Structure 1
Amino acid sequence: MALFSSDKNDRRTQEAERVATEATAAIAAEKAAGKKRAQSYWAVSWNIFKKNKLGMVCLVVVALLVLVAIFAPLLAPYDPDAQELTNMLKAPSAAHLFGTDEYGRDLLSRVIYGCRISLSVGVASQAIALLIGFFAGVCAGYFGGKVDSAISFAIQVFSSFPFLLFAIVVMFAMGPGLVNLYVALGLLGWTSTARLVRGDVMRLKGSEYIQSCILSGGKPMRIILKHLLPNCISTLIVVSTLGIPSAILSEASLSFLGLGVQPPMSSWGQMISASQPYIQTCTYYSVIPGIAIIITVMAFNLLGDALRDALDPKMRS
């Protein structure tokens, strides 16, 4: 009898070990499959993006702009703030490829340093906007109810005002300056991110794995950061790529009005503003920074469109 009981216990132990081994193998296989799906998603997205020739050209242009901004001290032939009154308003020449301004400063050097200002405004303001917009959208979509109503009302309020007019009011209240420009554009540009993230979270919240995390007692912050954030990455990438040119245009407009970057710091918008009295006699003075703005904004906008097509599963055949 004891021998029979011992054999029975051994079989139960072996059966339990077999079940545990199969469960471990299933979990490992599921994790491996999840990683493979994630890798295949980005790989497929990159393959789709590579087929978009215009998108690849814009990616190269954006990369060159970033390199120009980073290595501006090495690329600029002159000090952008160095005045040489004997060379005031000189036309483009071998010594000054883009000519000089009313203080004899080299325009090529100022355009190069202006690239650094424009990209820093676009990136910094979008970082602030993405941070605010992501958490606002996640809270609205995840918690719902009164939280969703309050955040949706705030989105409607911020979206109801013309962006540039609202930015002028905020900058007038905060005062001109580069840091204030970062903060103002970031505080005003979060609504589109929040609206898109809210829709993604409401869709993801109904999925089985999010519901299982909620029912198992997972903390909201852990669910947001570990499960919702990775699934919103593609949306955040596209929104930021399309938001940077908007911030660059806003910076140029505010600097043109005297509420953005202040002299002697070089900014494309500030350069266009300073060129107004000489627009007929020295057309190059306003045209060159204007072309720089157009190239930068078009490159980022077209890159954002290409990324949206590549990252959106609905666009795949």
Structure 2
Amino acid sequence: MTKVYMSRPLPERVQAAAAELFDLTVRPQTSPLSVEEMRTALREYDGVVPTLGDMFSAEIFAAEPSPRCQVLANFGVGYNHIDVDAASAAGVVVSNTPGAVTDATADTAMTLMLMSARRAGEGERLVRAGAWEGWHPTQLLGMHLGGKTVGIVGMGRIGQAIARRCHFGFGMNVAYHSRSPKTLDFPAQRKDSLQSLAASVDVLVIAVPGGDATHHLINAQVLSAMQAHAHLINIARGNVVEEAALIEALSTGQIGGAGLDVYEFEPTVPDALKAMENVVLLPHIGTAALEVREDMGMMSVANLKAFFAGESPPNKV
């Protein structure tokens, strides 16, 4: 029977579906795979379900040049932790789970936008600390999102879902920067450069894939172009933002605030960020809804099922 290795425990429904089809081994730990665990997975299993943090690099494949593993059915839309070229050279197909994460991730972006703009995290800390002395007219005055301009960096599925929520739900103006113009079902202005986008918006939302091409895309130059009241929102990958430059921009008042669900060196979050009141910090919960995680897992299982049936996985990358 086909042997499949799941690198983290997934929702019970997903595990049950996989166990019906395959000889399934579920690793009980929730931490990323070690180098030796990745090498063992490639050597001893026909298929592997990796996820964020399982760094299947070129070095891992070089150490296992003739793997038993034939497919990495990634649990997640992002796959920058897998060297797809090295996997292909080793005869390993890679798939992912697009679509299932779009709405949940867009909702998380809106959560961060509202929390950051309306100073909700700061307010909750005030209440929990027992320091709230009651309502008054100038307490915790934040930024109203209605009528403001949101800038989307990367107008793919998730970027468009965020933009729709902003335009139709909050009456916001939409601007964006992407490699090519998009045909959209809502009004949006495309900016020729990232700097011009950053300079023209009240909220800048990062929605690009991770990887070498977007590493430190948001750097000191981009942050310095932003308006002093503007907020930065990141629901993409942590290393898209140069964290040290962001800390500097926040601490000096160069930008108004930030909402982060991802971090450059996660799970490590700098003490400087944790000490700031003008930043909202979430523990990478972009897709953390049961239905969404089940859908993602079932897509991974469907990719495995198709592959071992001799078909192309529905979501081959």
Instruction: Settle same-fold status: TM greater than 0.5.
Output: no
**TM-score, normalised to structure 2's length?**
0.25
Q: Which has the higher strand share?
A: 2
Greater gyration radius: 1
Structure with the higher helix share, 1 or 2? 1
TM-score (norm 1): 0.25
Compare relative contact order (CA 8 Å, sep 6+) and give the higher one, 1 or 2: 1
